[in-house]
Chain A
Amino acid sequence: MRESGAIDTIVQDIIASLKDLPGALLPILHGIQDKLGYIPAETVPAIAKALNLSRAEVHGVISFYHYFRETPPGKTTVHLCRAESCQAKGAKALEAHVKNKLGIDYHETTADGAFSLEPVYCLGLCSVSPSMQIGEELYGHSSAELFDSIINAEEASA
């Protein structure tokens, strides 16, 4: 965990570098989440002040978009595609396996903070369905076995 003073500095730098863009709020939120992994509630007043918005407006934007999160993610985020093409190739069985293996549902993080699980509505990898993303890595032709082998390797290296 970073000290709140360090967070303040990071956030102020991001705001200062982006606030003059037209429609600056999304770029600022992306900047903060890229750096911190989430958008801490205590950063909202500073963002609101810089853009001359109310805190409610900023919060409203953060909560509207699925990608922005207000709590820290696990060390590795698993994104499973739930869309139709992946469903046609067995995504539901994979989804059940992953939830069972990690012991969490969507939008949750394992108790040890190792994994977060998020649904995604299309990675654009429909031709190699079912697809998933683990951390930064993309996987096509996914299966329970493939998932286990990746996760076991991650755990072994942790």
Chain B
Amino acid sequence: MTHTVYIPGDAAAVALGADRVAAAVKQEAEKRGIKIKLVRNGSRGLHWLEPLLEVGTPNGRIAYGPVQVKDVASLFDANFVTGGKHALSLGLIEELPYLKKQQRLTFQRIGITDPVSLDDYIAHDGYRGLKNALGMTGADIVKHVTDSGLRGRGGAAFPTGIKWNTVLNTPSEQKYIICNADEGDSGTFSDRMVMEGDPFVLIEGMTIAGIAVGATQGYIYLRVEYPHAHKALNAALQKAYAAGYLGGNILGSGKKFDLEVRLGAGAYICGEETSLMESLEGKRGLVRFKPPLPAISGLFGKPTIVNNVISLASVPIILDKGGEFYRDYGMGRSRGTLPLQLAGNIKYPGLVEIAFGMTLRELLYDYGGGSASGRPIKAVQVGGPLGAYMPESQFDTPLDYEAFAAIWAVLGHGGVVAFDDTVDMADMARYSMEFCKIESCGKCTPCRIGSTRGVEVITDIIEGRDLAKNVPLLRDLCNTLLNGSLCALGGMTPYPVLSALNHFPEDFGIAGQADAA
């Protein structure tokens, strides 16, 4: 009998030794004459348990973790291939509370299937959305997306249906679908997990988008820092083409959609949609003035949908189960689920997909288990390097775009980075400015010069020079960046800087100020 063993090929698991564990399991099985089928699945997102090994049994999949090479022989001794007891046994994976309490829509297959097996994808409800879409008009497809309430999961939270509708209604002989896979925000890894763990879901989402608005060419603009995702996407693209899910005549419908992966080159600014298009056109990634909107004049001057990975990967289930199914999750104007990413100084870091509305505190403590160091969590940065630092007094904020905006914070991509009380928030503020300085495209003055000047002013403050003059100067500079920058890089760098200053003034050597933000 052949036993199926799952060991993630996800980069986070690989970074903790999953490839070596997989090689050891293979070798040990051969040595003992035990037949196994080894599947390199995606990660379930319980990253403190990686490398997490699973075996299929008649009762479900049994997990063991974290497994190192030295544990492999004893796992075989314990007959783990049939689910035998071992010190690293975790029981049925699906019953672990961290996983069981989640509401996985976009991540429904990730960690379960073989990411580059088209058969596996289809056996787990893949391509049902596309099949539905092929029988609909473009306007009907867009209506499902609009009804779902899906908003861009990349940061600005713009309603996806409105963007699609604009492209649908802009006549042009050529239109494009771009997937912004330049996820460069610290604390975020959900795009990477999707592309490595279920690349077909992104391909299907983009194909549906193309059919909806009449775009025949798509590009996945992928950051060069994700080589594992690059391999998985290309392997999946090849299979989708071979089976007729991409190309000139999709599933015999007469509809055409071609898709290609393009690599960025390490510029954070190319996650901004207009810079991204400049980069795809082969230029420096300088921000464009808007208008015109990319939906009207985008890549090569043609109407273009630019959505990020999670937004596009959420489309197949919406077209499979209907816009209303998706809309029934969430709160207020934040509909559906958000894959939240727990990182930094946290005991149980990982991926938690759940409907909008849970509080930050529940996420940090019920899922995250508090800090990894055991010290108090002092600050949490949500929404990437341009997101605000939130103090303990704001931990009861629900995870909802509007609730975050109301306290001058950003939910963005759902990345959550926790810091314990050893962090120096003035240092973190300086780092934010330095990041802006390093990554500024240079097109607008507030961002280009303001960030350089900002590093100098914060350094002066940290070194205690003329605080009465320099603190107001920093606020004034932030105001200029906030209101005068062309794009979100300069326009949002004040969020981490001012939130640090407002919530943690003692770290800057000054007494607290009443006016938050």
Interface, chain A (partner B; CB < 8 A): 22-27, 29-30, 51, 57, 60-61, 64-68, 83-89, 120-129, 131, 136, 138-141
Contact = CB atoms under 8 A, between A and B. Distances in A.
A88 B345 contact: yes
Contacts of B186: 83-86, 121-122, 126
Contacts of B455: none
A123 B284 CA distance: 22
Contacts of A139: 15
B285 A64 contact: yes
Interface stretch (B242-250, B321-329, B415-423): B415-423
Contact of B344 (A22, A24, A89, A131): A89
Contacts of B490: none
B279 A26 contact: yes
Given A64-B267, A88-B417, A138 B11 contact: yes
A25 B283 contact: yes
B428 A84 contact: yes
B187 interface: yes
A146 B213 CA distance: 51
Nearest to A65: B265
A6 to B, nearest CB: 25
Nearest to A141: B16
Interface of B: 11-12, 14-16, 47-48, 50, 183-189, 191-192, 224-227, 262-268, 279-285, 300, 341-345, 349-351, 372, 381, 385, 415, 417-420, 423, 428, 431, 435, 438-439, 441
A88 B268 contact: no
A48 B183 CA distance: 30
Contacts of B381: 84
Nearest to B379: A88
B145 to A, nearest CB: 27
A85 to B, nearest CB: 4
Given A23-B282, A126-B344, A128-B16, 9 more contacts: A23-B300, A29-B265, A51-B282, A65-B284, A85-B344, A89-B372, A122-B188, A124-B226, A128-B349
A24 B280 CA distance: 8
A68 B265 contact: yes
Contacts of A125: 11-12, 15, 189
Given A26-B262, A26-B263, A120-B225, A126 B14 contact: no
Contacts of A127: 12, 47-48, 189, 341-343, 349-351
A138 B17 CA distance: 9
Nearest to B228: A138
Contacts of A138: 11, 14-15
Contacts, number: 147
Contact of B282 (A25, A67, A68, A136): A25
* From B186, B283, B423, residue with most partner A Cβ within 10 Å: B186
Contacts of B225: 120, 122-124
A124 B192 CA distance: 7
Nearest to A90: B345
5 closest cross-chain pairs (CB), A and B = A83-B186, A25-B282, A67-B266, A65-B265, A126-B343
A126 B189 contact: yes
Contacts of A88: 343-345, 417-420, 423
B385 A83 contact: yes
Nearest to A24: B282
Contact of B284 (A23, A61, A85, A131): A61
Contacts of B349: 126-129
B5 to A, nearest CB: 22
B344 A84 contact: yes
Nearest to A131: B15
Given A25-B282, A64-B267, A84 B300 contact: no
A103 B189 CA distance: 32
Contacts of B226: 124
B419 A64 contact: no
A147 B326 CA distance: 46
Nearest to A139: B15
B193 to A, nearest CB: 8
Given A121-B186, A126-B349, A61 B282 contact: yes
B184 A122 contact: yes
Which of A27, A83, A84, A121 has its CB near the most chain B CB atoms (within 10 A)?
A: A84
A124 B189 contact: yes
A141 B349 CA distance: 12
A28 to B, nearest CB: 8
